[in-house]
Amino acid sequence: MSSPCPFAIDPMVGDLNGETARLRALGPITRIDLLGVPAWTVTDHALARQLTTDTRLVKDINAWSLYADGVVTTQWPLIGMVLVDRSMFSVDGAEHRRLRLKTAQALAPRRLEELRPVIEQLTADLLDDLEAAGAGGAAVDLKEVFAYPLPMRVVGDLMGVAREDHAQLLDWYKKFFSVMTPQDERLEVMSGLDVYFTDLVRQKIADPADDLTSAFVTADEGGEPLTEEEAIGNIKALVAAGHETTVSLIINTVRALLAEPEQLAKVLAGDVEWKQVIEESLRWDGPVSHLLMRFATEDIVVGDTVIAKGEGVVMSYRAVGRDTAVHGETADEFDVTRSTANRHLAFGYGPHICPGAALSRLEAAIALPALFARFPQLRLAVPDSEIGNLPVLTQNDLAALPIILN
């Protein structure tokens, strides 16, 4: 591989803003080290759009030389982010469109309106739990009590995952994403998830219900049934993506607003729409720091850089959101009045753009105003500088958000 000393991403996520700035300073595309494995990463908005629509880059891990040559094995801590079942996450072209169609239909904005009352009720229930946990002015973790259970319940209902299994799934995903999890334990978690979702698919084949898992395995307006492996792969992708990221969207937005009382005041006064706040939060402090990975099927020339055939390319969407060419010199600041806020790529771009984008926006647009309406005195229980990230390399995952309700 080309240039030496790739920029090492800090797995402990000690200084996310500093890291993003240093990465951006290295140029539009730069070499990074992902826990001992080299790749390219893209930090520039225009280049991210170009490369996420370049058909010479594919998601199939078999196109990765380091994997094909046995250098990257299941001992690599990030293997679970790239070695996935055949699904809409790992396939390109016409097959990708087929694998994505039923999901795109189920998550279309019109269909999502049916979910609105359900999400409102789940939110109200969780606000009751929050009130109980924070009674008498006690500090309470907004992540654990409120933000964390909500998206899992939403995606769980959508996929037909029983409520009593959510705690187990959340526990598995926590271990899956943390770089601190010993690798043998991570591999056990991955096989636990595989057994769980294989059972779920078989159960829905035998006894279909009104959920997306059943839609995957039956013929409908979205086409023929998917194979068992494809259905399992899609479900794994949707449950992982559907809960992990939306938790961060909700708490990162609350954190940003509580740190900037003047901006919060504008929002609560109705001078700035929640929709706009959510877009600025996605741009400035989005749930995904680094999206792994695409692989070059031939040499790709980008300016004076050559992505060689077989090399891996990461999209550093956090850095992309701070692109000064798009968002101006103040790109590093959170500003709910920013006119370019919705030009972020926090959901990706091109054929693989997040199919759940509208659902996550809906969840945030329900949860955030409901939270502030119920607790207008909401404030941080610790200085903002004490809020830290979990040791998760790819995701922007706060460890906790301690707050006081009133």
Give the residues lining the site for ligand STR (CB under 6 A). Answer: 80-81, 84, 89, 236-237, 240-241, 244-245, 288, 291, 395
Is the CB of 72 or the CB of 378 nearer to ligand STR? 72
CB of 267 to ligand STR, least distance (A): 26
Q: What are phi and psi of 57, to 5 degrees?
A: -105, 130
Nearest-approach distance from CB 14 to ligand STR, in angstroms: 20
Which CB sits closer to ligand STR, 150 or 264? Answer: 150
Residue 81 or 112 having the CB closest to ligand STR: 81
The CB-of-194 to ligand STR minimum distance in angstroms stands at 8
Query: Which of 120/165 has CB closer to ligand STR?
Result: 165
CB of 156 to ligand STR, least distance (A): 16
Q: Are 87 and 236 in contact (CB under 8 A)?
A: yes
**Bridging pattern class, strands 37-42 and 312-315:** parallel
CA distances from 207 to 116, 163, 220, 230 (A): 26, 18, 16, 18
Query: Is the distance from CB of 362 to CB of 237 less than 8 angstroms?
Result: no
Closest CB to ligand STR among residues 263, 395? 395
CB of 164 to ligand STR, least distance (A): 21
Q: Measured from the CB of residue 136, what is the shortest distance to ligand STR in angstroms? A: 37
**Residue placing its CB nearer to ligand STR in the complex, 42 or 272:** 42
Long-range CB contact pairs, 229-233, < 8 A, 24+: 229/85, 229/86, 230/85, 230/86, 230/87, 230/99, 231/201, 232/85, 232/87, 232/194, 232/197, 232/198, 232/201, 233/84, 233/85, 233/86, 233/87, 233/88, 233/89, 233/90
Cβ 78 to ligand STR shortest distance, Å: 9
Alpha-carbon distance of 325 to 344, in angstroms, equals: 12
Nearer to ligand STR, 123 or 395 (CB): 395
